[in-house]
Amino acid sequence: MAPKRETALDAWGRELAYACEAAGLAGKQLAETLHVAPSTVSQWMNGRRTPHLEDVERCDQVLGTNGYLARYFQKWVTRETPSEWNGRWLVAEAHANLFQSFDSSVIPGLLQTPDYARAVLQQNRHSPFAIEERVRRRIERQTILDDENPPMCIFVIDEYALHRLFGGREVMVEQLKRLHDLANWRNIVIKIVPSGTEYYAGTPFMIVRMDGAEIANLDDALAGRIIEGGDELVQINKVWEDIRESALSANGSLELIEKVLKEWEV
């Protein structure tokens, strides 16, 4: 088996470790100073977790590296990272107190199992290495759902996504079991728009609210488009309300998920 190719995140993590050593700080001491878990700093150093830019900037301040870590991060790591985790949107997700999402053909990324995510990403014809990196980072994003102060999350999904095959029957069974489990979390509401519903407009999108501000991410075939205000944000909120009204209740949605799950299990 070929050795794992080093990523820009791996290299940045090594630079962070060197900077800690030069400053005479252990990773645990850096974590205490930044008020994060020691495991978080360890994952940064090992290239297993992508820090937010503001965390990187704080590392520069604590370690006295004069902005070097942030410059390296912005030049190489963010270039390598898929657009859904980049810049403003990644920061918005991390600070969200309300998260609203609509998907018409796939289960939303924040709710995906690794195997389902891998099957979805394979449709985009990425290299095997790129797929595994994207799966890892997609699953990493899901930590916002159960951190110490998770946002309230409302996911509206078209029923078509429950029936669309990705990765085989076993993958679909595990994905719908995961969806069913998450639908019972106190901070997650999952609503399904049933098939047969009269036509409604809506491309996949996400809306995040944080500290009184609001930002939306509209998906397309190439990359997400950020909307931070103006008439477009008003319009996407109107679309959200229309779609949500078309969906079943939370309990009705749970029953539909159970029904489709049984169909996949046969």
Domain residues of the chain, as ranges? 8-80, 84-265
Say whether pTM exceeds 0.75: no
Q: Do domains 8-80 and 84-265 have the same CATH topology?
A: no
Q: How confident is the model at residue 39 (pLDDT cuts 50, 70, 90)?
A: confident
Tens of pLDDT along 81-127? 554 445 567 777 778 899 999 999 999 999 999 999 999 988 765 55
Q: Identify whether the C-beta of residue 190 lies closer than 8 Å to the C-beta of residue 179.
A: yes
Closest CA to 41 of 57, 61, 56, 23: 56
pLDDT at 221: 52
Tens of pLDDT along 135-185? 888 888 898 898 878 899 999 999 999 999 999 999 999 999 999 999 999
Superfamily of chain region 8-80: lambda repressor-like DNA-binding domains (1.10.260.40)
What is the CATH code for 84-265? 3.30.870
Question: What is the percent of the chain where pLDDT is above 70?
Answer: 89
How far, rounded to the nearest angstrom, does the alpha carbon of residue 199 sit from its chain's CA centroid?
28
pLDDT at 178: 97
Give the separation between CA 7 and CA 216, rounded to whole angstroms. 29
Q: Based on the number of CB atoms within 10 Å of its own CB, is 201 exposed (0-12), middle (13-18) or buried (19 or more)? A: exposed
